[in-house]
A and B are shown apart, each in its own frame.
Chain A
Amino acid sequence: MNYAFDFGWLFDYWPVLVKGILITVELTLVGGILGVSLGIACAWARALGPRWLGAIVATYVELIRNTPFLIQLFFIFFGLPALGVRMGELEAANLAMVINLGAYGCEIIRAGIQATPRGQFEAGASLGMSRIQTFWYVVLVPALQRIWPALSSQIVIVMLGSAAVSQIAAEDLTFAANFIQSRSFRAFESYFVATLIYLALAIGLRQLLRGLGWTIFPRRAAR
């Protein structure tokens, strides 16, 4: 092996990397927050909502969970313009991530809702709360607490999966790595650095989610 490692290019290309990191973080934040919100709404619809709505949501969930993320992304970015729906690569990337996490999040959160003891619903009802109020104030937080580790993992998966958006020229971290290696011809170094950054981002995100869990759920889950 006589390959000479050279990380000197970092000095020239670091603004590209920083921009890539920022976009990956932005995609994760927006995808995470809106995706989990969508997941909560869908989980409510499937577990407790009217049957017709549950059926629509079930179709959406199965459609997303049984097709590749890359195809979903291409469909939104390249396919929808045929119907007159045009958007920039970042909007398309954000939308794809929200839709994707929404579907996976729905199933995870639904499991948490369905594990709620019946007595919680009955206590809410007997205090005069409507079904929606009982869901929002009584059921939701303990349900999220039950599945928080699984949901956290899914958010990290979606963050890592965001690498695919480089394929529609959204300038995320993977796009930056591709760009740098095509200019510097330093493939090993480019992807090595990208790998380390992704690793740091993923570990950081996990810690962030764990800390968030401690704040939202001050007590150990009951039952």
Chain B
Amino acid sequence: MSLIEITEVKKRFGDNEVLKGINIDVAPGEVIAIIGKSGSGKSTLLRCINGLETIDEGSISVAGAQLLPDELHLKALRLKVGMIFQGFNLFPHLTAGRNVMLSQTVVKKTPKAEAEVMAKKMLERVGLAHKFDAYPDQLSGGQQQRVAIARALAMQPIALLCDEITSALDPELVNEVLSVVKELASEGMTLLMVTHEMRFARDVCSRVVFMHQGRVHEIGPPEKVFANPATPELKQFLGVIH
């Protein structure tokens, strides 16, 4: 049974149709890399999955939670999928620990002490237990992104969406974030990631989705997609990347 079902999803910005009928089913524990040129719709697709963008046609569901535009359904959906952003989006006025605690206490009404225990556990999981009391502006980009991952994990989501989470990082900081993601993958977390890290996609992902002009142009296991691209567009894209 699929965990995430994306069916015939279409999305327009004005006259510009950025998603032209997307179908993807994701099984529990799968790690999916979404690759493609900028403007191919990959980030938009990811943002549709947890309702940051509305969809015009089709349907999306995550573990039985349907994407519907009202706040109640959105909340139910967002409790199942966490999201990590390119720009980290940590809350600047809160310490790392408070960043991880906030949504637990506000959304799940977890008692503070319990939320703190969870925050410490999650920060430890990303290797930042010692930064509990540091503010975001005292952390490096890589550390901030790991706090953002801990923050998403503290809500105990079933799946995580990663939107180019290493693109804003200095090259030497990319690996500390990717190794955390790799560990999550090995623990069985379902991951959908828009990424430009082709080596990572090849090593870690179970399937690769190549998007082109608002459609899923090719989809398959990384060995096939990277070694034997079937379409000229993917060949060209991989050629450009390498």
Contact = CB atoms under 8 A, between A and B. Distances in A.
Interface in B98-154: 102-103, 106-108, 135-137, 148, 151-152
Given A123-B89, A127-B152, A130-B75, A219 B82 contact: no
A195 interface: no
A126 B83 contact: yes
B21 interface: no
A41 B148 CA distance: 30
A131 B71 contact: yes
Nearest to A134: B106
B137 A220 contact: yes
7 contacts: A117-B89, A119-B89, A123-B91, A125-B74, A127-B78, A130-B75, A133-B106
A142 B92 CA distance: 7
A122 interface: yes
A219 B93 contact: yes
Interface in A148-186: none
Interface of A: 117, 119-120, 122-131, 133, 137-138, 141-142, 145, 217-223
Contact of B85 (A119, A145, A220): A119
A128 B103 contact: yes
Contacts of B28: none
Given A127-B78, A128-B103, A120 B93 contact: no
Contact of B136 (A117, A125, A222): A222
B37 to A, nearest CB: 23
Nearest to B83: A126
A123 B93 CA distance: 14
B112 to A, nearest CB: 14
Given A127-B152, A130-B71, A219 B92 contact: yes
B75 A120 contact: no
A217 B93 contact: yes
Contacts of B152: 126-127
Q: Which 8 A-B pairs have the closest CB atoms?
A: A127-B103, A123-B89, A222-B92, A119-B89, A126-B83, A128-B107, A128-B78, A141-B93
Contacts, number: 73
Contacts of B230: none
Contacts of B51: 125
A123 B135 contact: no
B190 interface: no
Contacts of A220: 137
A88 to B, nearest CB: 40
B52 A119 contact: no
Given A122-B83, A128-B78, A133-B106, 14 more contacts: A119-B87, A120-B89, A122-B89, A125-B52, A125-B78, A126-B152, A127-B78, A127-B107, A127-B155, A128-B108, A128-B155, A130-B75, A133-B107, A222-B137
A130 to B, nearest CB: 6
Given A133-B107, A138-B91, A217-B93, A128 B135 contact: no
B185 interface: no
B50 A126 contact: yes
Contacts of A223: 92
Contacts of A122: 52, 83, 85, 89
A223 B136 CA distance: 12
A68 to B, nearest CB: 37
Contacts of B103: 124, 127-129
B82 A126 contact: yes
A122 B52 CA distance: 7
Nearest to B52: A122
B107 A129 contact: yes
B173 interface: no
Contacts of A222: 92, 136-137
A119 B83 CA distance: 11
Nearest to B148: A123
A117 B92 CA distance: 11
B79 interface: yes
